[in-house]
Structure 1
Amino acid sequence: MPLLRGFLTLLLFLILGEAMRLLFLLPISGGIIGMLLLTFWAMVSGGISEDLALASQKLIAILILLIMPGVVGVFFLGGHFDGQWLAITLALLAGTFLSVLTTLLILRVQVRPDQEASHD
């Protein structure tokens, strides 16, 4: 039952994000808005519930299956990107760099100096 509650929580925030996107005509994906709402909710409530953590861990385990449809779509729509490969490549490289940099900065904030010293 905890797994189902976690999935329902994720679904609720996805639906809330999609509703906000439609209501305010935002040019951002409803999923992104929903995950931002979930992040703010976790910050206000003091953390993530065990149900949500369990559901998230199960989804991370099958992450490649969630990404695959987008990759296949890009493969079959390659003709639409003629003449734009340089811009796409630069956007992918910049996005990857910013993702890694953001992850590094968040990790540095989350890992306290006393935790780093205990591993040495």
Structure 2
Amino acid sequence: MSILRGFLILVLFFLLGEALRLVFLVPISGGILGLMMLTLYFMATGGVGNAVASASQALISVLILLIMPGLTEIFFISGKFTGQWLAVSVSLLVGTFLSVVTTLVLLNVLARKLPSRSNTHE
């Protein structure tokens, strides 16, 4: 039941982000807006609950299924990229590289700010 509750919380924030995007005509993905609101919610409540953590772990195992439709779409709209494949390929590679580097740097900074768990058991 905990995973279901966590999944519903994640879906709720996604839907709230989509609603904000549609109401205010913001040129940002509803999923990104929802994640920003979810982050603020976690900051206000003091952390991620067990329900959301359980649901997130379950979703990570099927992450490739969430990414695949966007990658597949490129083949259906390939006619629009005639003569621009080098620019598209470079932008995809650079964008992927920058997102991975940004994530690693952010995780390292945040991991340094967390208290060490080894000291809590002494």
> In the alignment, does 2:13 pair up with 1:13?
yes
Task: Quote the residue 1:61 is aligned against.
Answer: 61
Tell me, in whole angstroms, the C-alpha distance in 2 between the residues paired with 1:39 and 1:91: 28
**Offset at residue 20 of structure 1 (A):** 0.6
Decide whether aligned partners of structure 1 residues 84 and 16 sit closer, same or farther in structure 2, where only a CA change above 3 A counts: same
2:108 match: secondary structure = helix
2:20 match: secondary structure = helix
Tell me, in whole angstroms, the C-alpha distance in 2 between the residues paired with 1:45 and 1:105: 25
Tell me, in whole angstroms, the C-alpha distance in 2 between the residues paired with 1:112 and 1:76: 44
Task: Quote the residue 2:24 is aligned against.
Answer: 24
Tell me, in whole angstroms, the C-alpha distance in 2 between the residues paired with 1:111 and 1:96: 22
| Over 2 Å off, 4+ runs | 110-115
> In the alignment, does 2:49 pair up with 1:49?
yes
1:23 match: secondary structure = helix
Tell me, in whole angstroms, the C-alpha distance in 1 between the residues paired with 2:43 and 2:12: 17
Q: RMSD of the TM alignment (CA)?
A: 2.0
Tell me, in whole angstroms, the C-alpha distance in 2 between the residues paired with 1:99 and 1:73: 20
Tell me, in whole angstroms, the C-alpha distance in 2 between the residues paired with 1:65 and 1:108: 27
Residue deviations 1:85-104 (CA, integer Å, cap 9, x gap): 23222321221222122122
Matches within 5 A, 1:1-120: 1-112=1-112
Count of matched residue positions in the alignment of Structure 1 and Structure 2: 116
Tell me, in whole angstroms, the C-alpha distance in 1 between the residues paired with 2:54 and 2:90: 36
Tell me, in whole angstroms, the C-alpha distance in 2 between the residues paired with 1:86 and 1:3: 43
| Unmatched runs of 5 consecutive residues or more in structure 2 | 117-122
Tell me, in whole angstroms, the C-alpha distance in 2 between the residues paired with 1:97 and 1:65: 20
Instruction: Please report the TM-score for the alignment, with normalisation by the length of structure 2.
Output: 0.84
Higher helix share: 1
Give the fraction of aligned pairs with identical amino acids, expressed as a percent: 57
